[in-house]
Chains A and B, each alone.
Chain A
Amino acid sequence: MKSALILRGIALTAALLGLSACATAETFEWGTYDAALYAYSKHPEQLPQFEKSLQAAIASGRNKGRVAPGLQAELGYCYLGEGKKVEAIAQFKAEMTSFPESSALMNRIIAQIQG
C-alpha cells in the first residue's frame, strides 16, 4: 500500500517532468524564470528571489550564448524599481544588444531615466 502510493507519486512527478522536458525547447536559457515570476506575481515580497533567478539565468545564458529574450530587461526593470539607475541602464543596454527588436523600448526607458 505504502510502496504503491510512493510509486504513484513518482509516476505523477515523472509525468509532469516528462511534460516539462518536452516543453523546454532549448532555444534559450530560461533558468527558473517562469517559476520565479509565478512566485513573485503571487507574493510581491519575493522580488529578491525573482532577481536572483534572473541573474542566474542571464549568467548561464551568457555562458552558452543564448540569453533568453526579455530577461535582461526584466532584471533592469527590477533594479529601476529599487532606484538602482546605473545597474538598470546597463541591463537595458544589454537587452538591446542581444535583441535589437527591443531597441525602441529600451532607448525610451533609458532616456526617461536619464531625463
Chain B
Amino acid sequence: MTFRTLLAAAAAAGCMALGACATAPTPFDYSAFKAEAPHSIVVVPALNNTANVTAPDWFLSTISQPFANRGYYVFPANMVRGLLNDNGLADAGLVHKTDARRLQPLFGCDTVLFIQINKWDAKYVLISTTTEVEFSYELRSCKTNATLWKNTQSLQYTPQGANSGNPIAALIADAIIAAIEKGHPNYMPLARQANLAAAATPGLGLPVGPYAAATH
C-alpha cells in the first residue's frame, strides 16, 4: 500500500464517518425558521456545563466556519465576545438567560445561536484514551425570541491501534498513542466535526442560507 493510497483511504474513512452522521431519523420542523428566513447569526459564548474551564474559549474558534459555510453571515466571534464584555454580558450564564431580542440593538442580528457544552473530556482507561464532546445548539429569533432551530451533537474519538500481529508491540504502541492523546486531546477536530454535523446534516441541520455557494 503506497503512502498516497493510505492517505486517500484514511480521508475516505473520515468522510464516511462524517457521512454516517448524516442519516436523519426524523427531519426537523423548519416552518418557524423558513417563516423568518434569517440571514445572520450572532454566536454568543457557549454555556459551559463541564468542569473544563477553558472549553468555551477553545470552542469559540470552531463555530464560525461551519455555520458561515452553510450560507449565513456569522458575526465576528472574537469581536462579539469583546462587545459582550463591554456591555456587562461577559458571563455566559447571564447571556444565555438573555432574551434574544435584547441583543438585536447591539448587533443588528437576525438570530442568536446559544450553545451549551455538555461534555468535553478525555477518559484515560488502561491503554486507550477516549475524547468525548457533547454540544446542544439553539437558534433563536431576534424579532420574537422564538426557537427557530435546535440540534444536539455527541461525538467521541478513540485512537485505533493497528493490528501488527505482535500483541506486545501493539500494547506498547497503544500505550504511547493513549499517552499522546491524553496530553493533547483532540478536542478541536471533534468540536469542528460536531459543529459541521450540527450545521450541515440534511434534514436536521440549518437550511442552506443566502451566501451558500451554488454547488452546495
Contacts and interface: CB of A to CB of B under 8 A. Distances in A.
Interface range, B side: 35 or more
Contacts of B212: 27
Interface range, A side: 35 or more
B40 interface: yes
Task: Name A's interface SS.
Answer: helix
Nearest to A40: B78
B211 A17 contact: no
A69 B74 contact: yes
B24 interface: no
Task: Name B's interface SS.
Answer: helix
Contacts of B3: 10
A-B pairs, 7 with minimum CB distance? A104-B108, A18-B14, A18-B11, A14-B10, A70-B76, A101-B73, A38-B61
Interface of A: 1, 4-5, 7-8, 10-12, 14-28, 30, 33-35, 37-38, 40-42, 50, 68-71, 73-74, 76-77, 81, 95, 99, 101-105, 108
25 contacts: A1-B166, A1-B169, A4-B162, A11-B162, A14-B6, A14-B10, A17-B7, A19-B18, A19-B189, A21-B14, A25-B216, A27-B212, A30-B65, A34-B62, A34-B65, A41-B61, A69-B64, A69-B68, A70-B75, A71-B76, A73-B75, A76-B79, A102-B75, A103-B108, A105-B108
